[in-house]
Amino acid sequence: MDVKFQGYDEDRYDFHHREKKEKRRKIFVKLLFWIVSIPVTIFFATLICSVLIEKTKVNNNSMEPVLSKDDHILINTLSYRLHDPRRFDVIVYEKGDVDHSIFDIKRIYGLPGETIQIKEGMIYINGKVIKDEAGDVETLLGGIAADPVKLGENEYFVLADNRNDSEDSRFAGFGTVKRKNIIGKAWIRTNKFGFVNSMKIKKTEEQTK
């Protein structure tokens, strides 16, 4: 003979038991997730900082007004492992010999295989005038690019934004930038936060008068 105690509901007891067990399982899963994700996040953050990002400091005023001397820059060293440098990219590259190289920053205008020329203040690529990312600043000196300059397979022709008071690929002693010497794309200015390649050159009050 089956005997049931008054007030005892077996189905209700099993339901509460399963509910408590499910709550404990969810808590355990969440705890396990944080235990695993925290060291993984730290590992990848360290990897990114040590392998994919470098730091440098601007050592001159050649890229004013976008970048000024002593600005601190993070360099994206991954970008050019995925694709080649592009026109108007602001790049960081090694300048000088192997033992005494320094990092320099300029903007790309001429790409490998192209012919660049600067005449009457205008920049020509393969015989056609292109937009000047330095704004309305007239390029007063064409330098070696006063005559057409044919770029080699791995050569880039770079110009300073503040080009009338700076040296760049127009000068024979400066020369073009080789692909192997490019460290990466100038990414973030950290002391006055901004994404370098998104910064637009604005006219000063003196230029608008």
Query: Could you write out the three-class secondary structure of 85-147?
Result: CCCCCEEEEEECCCCCCEEEEEEEEECCCCEEEEECCEEEECCEECCCCCCCCCCCCCHHHHC
State the catalytic residues: 62, 106
Task: Name the residue with tokens 């993070």.
Answer: 74
Which tokens sit at 1? 């003979």
Backbone angles phi, psi at 113, to 5 degrees: 85, -10
DSSP state of 180: G
Going by DSSP bridges, is the β-strand pair 182-189/90-95 parallel, antiparallel, or unpaired?
antiparallel
Longest dimension (CA), the chain: 111
Assign 71 to helix, strand or coil.
coil
- Fill in the amino acid letter for 48: I
